[in-house]
Amino acid sequence: MIFFKTKRKTGVLAVLWSLCFLCCAMGCADLSGTKTLKLAHGLNTDHPVHKGMERIAELLAQKSGGALTIEIYPSQQLGTERECLELLQIGSLGMTKVSSSVLENFAPKMKVLGLPYLFRDREHAYHFQDSELGRQLLLESEKFWLRGLTYFDAGQRSFYTKTRPVNTPDDLNGLKIRVQESPVAMGLVRSLGAAPTPISWGELYTALQQGIVDGAENNPPSFYTSRHYEVCKFYTLNEHTSVPDLLLIGTIAWKRLTPQEQQWLQEAADEATVYQRKLWQADEQKALEEVQKAGVEIIRPDKSLFIERTKGLLEEYKKDPEMKDLIEKIQSMQ
């Protein structure tokens, strides 16, 4: 058949490969009868959240006897967090991990999780995530073709900077701080006097090196595993937000699974969450120790100054009755 030569052959093969990728992403079986879900995310393989996803893959393979598996593509191999969410929505990718700050662009109620000093401590955040209210919020994105499976601990986010230490909010004045693509995160940084600059995670190291931004904000393991400590030598543990990571599956992929397969996947996610929380706490302490050894100055400021400066942002979101109810329910949890 002459039509399969040169460009036409390449085109046909490309289409066939695309269909194969789409099928696998949605949980279709290969010739051996195994269904494979493709899971893409932006973190590197040393990160404790990546290790949590590896644990889910192990548990799912065990529970299903190898009939349902997960292939993980880390380090933005298949795109940024936003791009991966879009791929889930159209069914070209099975699963992803994103920060709730990025998800708020798709599921507006998620912005509550990015509000400053909403949670008193780690236990408060866990209590919310394990509650019925937490589960309801996790499934809020389902109407946008994104089904939440679990929350992963992503610790508390704090500022790190290149040129000067941040001891009080005033020290942030005039600095360009990288933020996630989140209106709440941008509002928070503005309330502290800095200029928010959205940059994808994979591009941030270079942006810090080149002076495009003066600093960023994130949790200790991310600061360490990204090697941003090589550029930023001041880390201020003001802990302004406790933004979790969320494991998601596209509703297209979810509906292609049988009820038994759905149960296996949810059970694996729930069990891996317990494992990941323990891993996170150990890695958090290790990260702080390692960056300190590398010459980073760890600053523990008076957090009340940051709380006071960001109160207005919290009150602004309370003007929305639905958000006010959600905020107050979370704050009242014991």
Q: Residue 60, class by beta-carbon neighbours within 10 Å (0-12 exposed, 13-18 middle, 19+ buried)?
A: buried
pLDDT in tens, 170-191: 999 999 999 998 999 999 999 9
Q: Give per-residue pLDDT as tens, 126-147.
A: 999 999 999 999 999 999 999 9
Q: What residues does 297 pair with on adjacent strands?
A: 234
pLDDT at 2 over 50: no
d(CA 8, CA 2): 9
pLDDT digits (tens, 9 = 90+) for 190-214: 999 999 999 999 999 999 999 999 9
139: left (phi over 0), alpha (psi -120 to 50) or beta: alpha
- The Cα 116–Cα 114 span in angstroms is 6
C-alpha radius of gyration, the chain, whole number: 21
Residue 268's pLDDT is 98
Position 241 pLDDT exceeds 90: yes
The pLDDT of residue 4 is 23
Task: Name the band, by pLDDT with cuts 50, 70 and 90, for residue 105.
Answer: confident
* pLDDT value at 64 more than 50: yes
pLDDT at residue 80 is higher than 80: yes
- Check whether 86 has a pLDDT greater than 90: yes
Structure tokens at 7: 């460009």
- Residue pair 162/232 in contact by the 8 Å Cβ criterion: yes
β-bridge partners, 172 = none
User: Above 60 in pLDDT, residue 13?
Assistant: no
pLDDT of 12 higher than 60: no
Q: How confident is the model at residue 334 (pLDDT cuts 50, 70, 90)?
A: confident
Q: Is the pLDDT of residue 28 over 90?
A: no
Mean pLDDT confidence for 230-259: 98
Query: Which one, of 286, 176, 148, lies nearest residue 225 by Cα?
Result: 286
- Report residue 226 as tokens: 């990204």
Q: What is the pLDDT of residue 61?
A: 97
Q: What is the mean pLDDT of residues 305-318?
A: 96
pTM for the complete prediction? 0.87
| Residue 257 confidence (pLDDT) above 50 | yes
Neighbours of 269 (CB within 10 A): 24
In angstroms, the CA 322 to CA 39 distance is 33
Q: What are the structural domains, with CATH classification, of the chain? A: 20-154+244-285 (3.40.190.170), 157-243+290-331 (3.40.190.170)
Across the chain, what does the average pLDDT equal?
91
